[in-house]
């Protein structure tokens, strides 16, 4: 399980607003309450960037507080021409000590490659996302050559991008709301891990994705749950309630994914 720290200052418990750094105080309590129940934390950078310099300071404090016992994800969805992606990679892998970053592959290989050049770091490339807008492009059929079957755009992305890195530095985002697609996706990328958002508030089913993702002993799913855990309560018991919900998800994951 991955706990998503999509920490919105307008949604955290009101009593924390008197703290010097309300969002960090919130994150610290959530992390302390869930450390033993998850293997990863995903920080959605937008919620921190929106707060300006102070938000970046909060993000840095948070990722350092998580430490090196958990896999850390910068959910930043970066991806630009090569020299710009190089700077993004430096920002999140050098200036900030993240283990991985989510990357948009739309601009091609040179926009992704800089993230793959760091030993021990991961690029998590958008494959098939959980939002409704995935239908606008990702789920469009490509025109096939005569005598060949046509692929969805997301299938072409997975096929092409998997050749840019290895299962040791590259994984894919596959939304939990796209359960029917997991069978085809696992055939295309049999050895890669998937970051799976969309469980919980977005309605993705753990049971469905675990049945269709064909998990092997050393290849599986990093299932992210954000809002359902961190906003389990808006009262002073928020950390205790977050732990209860996280434990429920962890138990369910053990049943389906163990």
Would you please indicate which residues are annotated as catalytic (active-site) residues? 77
Give the Cα separation of 102 and 222 in Å (integer).
13
Give the Cα separation of 58 and 196 in Å (integer).
25
Q: Could you give the 3-state DSSP secondary structure of residue 77?
A: strand
Give one word for 198, left, alpha or beta, with left for phi > 0 and alpha for psi -120 to 50.
left
Q: Which tokens sit at 37?
A: 């129940």
Strand ranges (DSSP E) for the chain? 2-5, 40-44, 71-78, 100-103, 122-128, 170-174, 194-196, 221-225
DSSP classification of residue 172: E
Neighbours of 171 (CB within 10 A): 24
Q: Which tokens sit at 193?
A: 């891990």
Sign of CA dihedral 71, 74, 75, 79: negative
Q: Which tokens sit at 138?
A: 């990702």
Tokens 């990722």 sit on residue: 63
Give the Cα separation of 159 and 93 in Å (integer).
26
Contact 63, 98 (CB under 8 A): yes
Residue 168: φ, ψ to 5°: -95, -10
């Amino acid at each position: 399980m991955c706990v998503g720290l999509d920490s919105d200052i307008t949604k955290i418990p009101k009593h924390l607003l008197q703290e010097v750094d309300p969002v960090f105080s919130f994150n610290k309590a959530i992390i302390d309450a869930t450390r033993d129940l998850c293997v990863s934390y995903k920080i959605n950078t937008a919620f921190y960037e929106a707060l300006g310099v102070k938000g970046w300071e909060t993000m840095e404090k948070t990722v350092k507080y998580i430490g090196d016992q958990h896999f850390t994800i910068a959910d930043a969805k970066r991806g630009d021409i090569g020299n710009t992606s190089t700077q993004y990679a430096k920002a999140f892998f050098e200036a900030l000590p993240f283990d991985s970053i989510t990357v948009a592959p739309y601009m091609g290989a040179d926009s992704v490659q800089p993230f793959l050049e760091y030993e021990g770091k991961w690029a998590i490339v958008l494959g098939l996302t959980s939002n409704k807008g995935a239908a606008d492009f990702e789920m469009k059929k490509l025109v096939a050559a005569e005598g060949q079957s046509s692929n969805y755009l997301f299938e072409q992305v997975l096929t092409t991008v998997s050749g840019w890195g290895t299962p040791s530095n590259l994984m894919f985002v596959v939304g939990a709301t796209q359960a029917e697609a997991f069978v085809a996706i696992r055939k295309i990328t049999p050895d890669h891990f998937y970051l799976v958002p969309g469980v919980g508030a977005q309605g993705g089913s753990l049971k469905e994705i675990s049945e269709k993702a064909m998990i092997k002993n050393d290849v599986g799913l990093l299932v992210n749950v954000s809002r359902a855990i961190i906003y389990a309560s808006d009262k002073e018991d928020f950390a205790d309630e977050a732990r209860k919900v996280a434990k429920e998800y962890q138990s369910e994951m053990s049943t389906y994914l163990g």
